[in-house]
Structure 1
Amino acid sequence: MRLLEHHAAVVEGQVSAIAHQANQAHIQTALQVSPTLDPQQEVERRVAFLYRQLVSTGQKSLVLGISGGVDSTVAGRLAQLAVEKARQEGVEAHFYAMRLPYDTQQDEEDAHQALAFIQPDNVLTVNIQAASDALLASLEAGGLGFTDAHQRDFVLGNIKARQRMVAQYAVAGANAGLVVGTDQAAEALMGFFTKYGDGACDIAPLTGLTKAQVRQLGAVLGAPEALVEKQPTADLETLKPQPADEEALGFSYADIDAFLTGEQISEGARATIIQTYQRSAHKRQLPITP
């Protein structure tokens, strides 16, 4: 009996591994990931994409929040190059880079370094603290309660992310603009973004790129190495500022990227990543309808 049970367990494990391999391949396709790419060609392709979207929609500007991380640094430079290409073609176009700190950002110097590299046409600074705190206070005055300080801080973090997008769409609305997003394949895979916050945008030029590939584009663009290799952090929490993304995710970006490019990772890690992708499906879809 024990031999039969062992054989059944082995077969079940093999079937599960095959199913996970199929899911992994499906996810790679769904997220438009290419295991290999030419960084210079990708820069040119994505600048052209932004240019075409700007021209085809009849809009006159691109808008993006710059945090000082590699994603917004790369997306910001791509946006600036796209509007410069448009102007060379006789099309009116401008890029609005936005600084959107909550109070004082701990890595503010990185954001300024990113702006110096991007060289945007316009820089607007909007401190979202007053708006974020006022909304949370109004919610609590209206009867919203929290189980503890950490839950309250989590909710405030999502409010911050959505206030930043409110500000960007206000600037876009005033300047006939499109809001640029920084979502890439690693964050899309894990659902590591705030729905209708940093996950909201009109155009997402980093789609399909792994974290390592975003860094490759940054290096080709000539971004400062300190920003290209900077440890990513969402920086939405007040009680524990700037926790590393990898700490929050429970996985290294190396593991996530390996999953996306079809490399071997442990079966346990692969199963958990697939489960996380499935649980966060609602974040990647339009609103569910009857």
Structure 2
Amino acid sequence: MDQLQRQIIDALHVKPEIKPETEAREIIDFLKDYAKQHDFIKSFVLGISGGQDSTLLGKLTQLAVDELNEEGRSIQFYGVRLPYGKQNDEEDAIDAMKFIGQDTQRAVNIKPAVDAGVEALAQSGFELSDFVEGNEKARERMKVQYAIAAHTGGVVLGTDHAAEALTGFYTKYGDGAADLAPLTGLNKRQGRDILKHLGSPVHLYEKIPTADLEDDKPMLSDEAALGVTYEHIDDFLEGKTVPEEAYDRIKNLYIKSQHKRDLPYNRYNLPY
């Protein structure tokens, strides 16, 4: 392991191995402690896509809320689906909601808002690419979550974890924006192990990860978009040796996405 790999692992708080039951308990307790320390919080809000990350955080949040309510601290969890029109993997999202234990199936269709914004930009001479339109979807989803949080007196939860943070595989001020990021420090493999421990349906943690933001490339896998496998990313984060080509790709992704992990730059904190 070279200095850069060690630096990244330390910065992202990754453990070489975990006990799923211990990590689950720590995340639940983190959410509970935060709610207890902030009396103004009446809810947690999270978008549920049907993918591994939101399914994992959704389940842990529901467990935390259930315990809080049993202990006399009244709080609600709003897990909400945020499809752009018809979601390609909608059944997975519905299955995730059932596994999480959301009694009410809430969904907000972001398509009208996204399309209106894209059209307004086009009328002003800004024809967005399909990729940039995908970022608009991610930001609209986060905008909706903050609206729900404001309406219900809550905070927004984010699913960012070490594998995403390492590669910058999220939209800045979209899915990368949140008040709390309880999955910090976990890689994809570890998150999958926690879902297994929690009794998740197999198809929810074995499905191919995809952001599904681009109309021209529906259901494009994360690994195809990144140019490196999660297996190699997870190995890297656990301090293991990875092939040189994968190492170089991971290093370049980390360096190029540093701006996503920093606060907005000002005259006094420029990195050069």
1:40 match: 21
Show CA shifts across 1:77-99 (max 9, x none): 01111111111221110100111
The aligned counterpart of 1:79 is 61
The structure with more radius of gyration: 1
Cα distance in 2 for partners of 1:35, 1:74 equals 20
The unaligned stretches of length 5 or more in structure 2 are 268-272
Between the aligned residues of both structures, percent identity stands at 50
- Secondary structure class of the residue paired with 1:228: helix
Distance (Å, rounded) in 2 between the aligned partners of 1:123 and 1:96: 10
CA distance in 1, matches of 2:103, 2:35: 16
Alignment of 1:140-155 (within 5 A): 140-145=122-127, 152-155=129-132
Q: Structure 1: how far apart are the matches of 2:215 and 2:94?
A: 22
Cα deviation, 1:207-230, whole Å, max 9, x if unaligned, reads 110100000010011110110111
Distance 1:172 1:127 in 2: 17
Structure 1 distance, partners of 2:234, 2:146, is 31
Does 2:164 align with 1:187?
Answer: yes
- Per-residue deviation, 1:123: 3.6
SS at match of 1:64: strand
Q: 1:112 aligns with which of 75, 86, 94?
A: 94
- Are 1:70 and 2:27 counterparts? no
The answer to whether the 8 A contact 1:96-1:121 is kept is no
TM-score, length of structure 2 as denominator length: 0.95
CA distance in 2, matches of 1:247, 1:137: 29
- Report deviation, 1:145: 3.3
TM-score, with structure 1 as normaliser: 0.90
- Helix, strand or coil at the partner of 1:275: helix
1:26 aligns to what? Answer: 7
Which residue identity is paired with 2:32?
A: Y
**Hey, what does 1:249 align to over in structure 2?**
226
Distance 1:269 1:154 in 2: 24
Name 1:233's counterpart in structure 2.
Answer: 210
| Larger helix fraction of residues | 1
Matches within 5 A, 1:147-186: 152-186=129-163
SS at match of 2:176: coil
Q: Counterparts of 1:132 and 1:227 in 2: how far apart (Å)?
A: 27
What is the Cα deviation at residue 142 of structure 1? 1.1
Partner of 1:53: 34
User: Match for residue 266 of structure 2?
Assistant: 289
Q: More displaced, 270-279 or 96-105? A: 270-279
Aligned to 2:80: 98
Q: Assess if the C-alpha contact under 8 Å between 2:47 and 2:82 holds in 1.
A: yes
**What residue identity is the alignment partner of 2:213?**
L
What code does the residue aligned with 1:80 have? Q
Aligned counterparts of 1:229 and 1:50: Cα–Cα separation in 2: 26
State the shift of 1:286 in Å. Answer: 1.0
* Alignment correspondent of 1:9: none
Distance in 2 (alpha carbons) for counterparts of 1:269 and 1:70: 23
State how far apart, in whole Å, the 2-side matches of 1:123 and 1:77 are: 15
**How many pairs align?**
266
Deviation at 1:201, TM superposition (A): 0.6
